[in-house]
Amino acid sequence: MSKLVMVIWIFALLPCLCWAAELTGRDIALRMDAVDTSKDYKRTAIMVINRKGQKLVRKMESCNKKYGPDERGLIKFIDPPDVRGIMYLTWSYEDVERDDDMWVFLPAESLVRRISGGGKKGSFMRSDFANEDIEKREVDDEHRLLRSEKFSGVDCYVVERVSKKQKDTNYSKRITWVRKDIWLPMKIEYFNKREKHIKTGIYGGFKEIKGIWTITKIMVETPRKGSKTLMQYDNVDYNIGLSDSLFEQSNLKR
């Protein structure tokens, strides 16, 4: 084979080789899931809710611990007084056939309530986040790579995520812009069951803490409601050896 013919063949095959090397949506989801290499973490947060001129500020503490592929998380509200002591406990499972567990403790009633099924579609403390938004992302949902493009000057993969648990979600799909360099989301668009875009989350404040790239700021806006919520994380710390007892239901009433 002449050198000219060989060169022609190489250039003809290049598109196929590039396509074969292209990441899949699931590959990207797995890369995102692998960013947090910690065994556990804790952090504080301020959530600022703006709705039609009304401003609500919530201060909270949260922590999370991994149990193999599964995770448990606890959120405790510390201010203002009317929400102080409210706690959310989540147990998230890798197995998509198993429903994640979620409970909320309401100190005014000294009552622990289980949040399941349709309850996860409800608003998280009157914010633009839904209860389901505070759960761990499901790697085994359907993920499809749509394209590559820049967002705010940063190279991103654009990935469509469709939940395998459609009866328990508000969303028909989510479109996520994932940074190619650190595998974290920059933007998520949420679509309702009628395929209408209903809200957008913008992620920022990227910091490397103990070698782990971390999101410290999220802004979620719901134009139809005229509302937006800012979540700002501080005092993030990893691998601190959290006790298992923190994540037991019995801890909620202590």
Q: Is residue 17 situated within a structural domain?
A: no
- On the question of pLDDT at 197 being above 50, the answer is yes
How far apart CA 93 and CA 246 sit, in angstroms, is 18
CA 3 distance to own-chain centroid: 52
| Angle (nearest 5°) at CA 142 between 102 and 219 | 60
What is the mean pLDDT of the segment spanning 189-209? 97
Is residue 8 domain-resident? no
Band (pLDDT 50/70/90 cuts) for residue 22 is confident
What proportion of the chain, given as a percentage, has pLDDT over 90?
A: 76
Q: Tell me what pLDDT residue 2 has.
A: 52
Q: What's the pTM?
A: 0.88
Q: Pick 220 or 22 by higher pLDDT.
A: 220
- CATH code at 150? 2.50.20.10
Q: How many whole angstroms separate alpha carbon 39 and alpha carbon 70?
A: 11
Task: Decide: 147 and 159 in contact? Cβ < 8 Å.
Answer: no
Across the strands, what pairs with 47? 58, 231
Is position 19 within any domain? no
Residue 158 covered by a domain:
yes
Write the pLDDT tens digit of every residue in 83-131: 999 999 999 998 877 888 999 999 999 999 999 877 888 999 999 999 9
- Token pair listed for 26: 């699931």
Residue with tokens 């890369």: 31
Residue 16 lies in a domain: no
Residue pair 186/92 in contact by the 8 Å Cβ criterion? no
- What's the rounded Cα separation, in Å, for the pair 153 and 198? 25
pLDDT band at 139 (very low <50, low <70, confident <90, very high): confident
HSE-up of 217 (CA within 13 Å, CB side)? Answer: 6
In a domain, 90, yes or no: yes
Average pLDDT, the chain: 90
Specify if 191 maps to a domain.
yes
Residue 103's DSSP bridge partners are 89, 114
% pLDDT > 70, the chain = 91
Which domain does 213 fall in, by range? 39-253
Decide if 76 contacts 61 (C-beta within 8 A): yes
Say if residue 239's pLDDT is above 70: yes
- Would you state the pLDDT for residue 21? 60
Q: How confident is the model at residue 19 (pLDDT cuts 50, 70, 90)?
A: very low
* DSSP label of 54: E
Which string of DSSP letters, residue by residue, matches 95-114?
-TTSPPEEEEEETTTTEEEE
**pLDDT at 205 exceeding the cut of 90:** yes
Residue 62 lies in a domain: yes
Q: In angstroms, rounded to a whole number, what is the distance separating the alpha carbons of residues 127 and 49?
A: 6
pLDDT tens for each residue of 65-83: 999 999 999 999 999 999 9
Quote the number of domains for the chain. 1
For the cut 70, the answer to whether the pLDDT of residue 212 exceeds it is yes
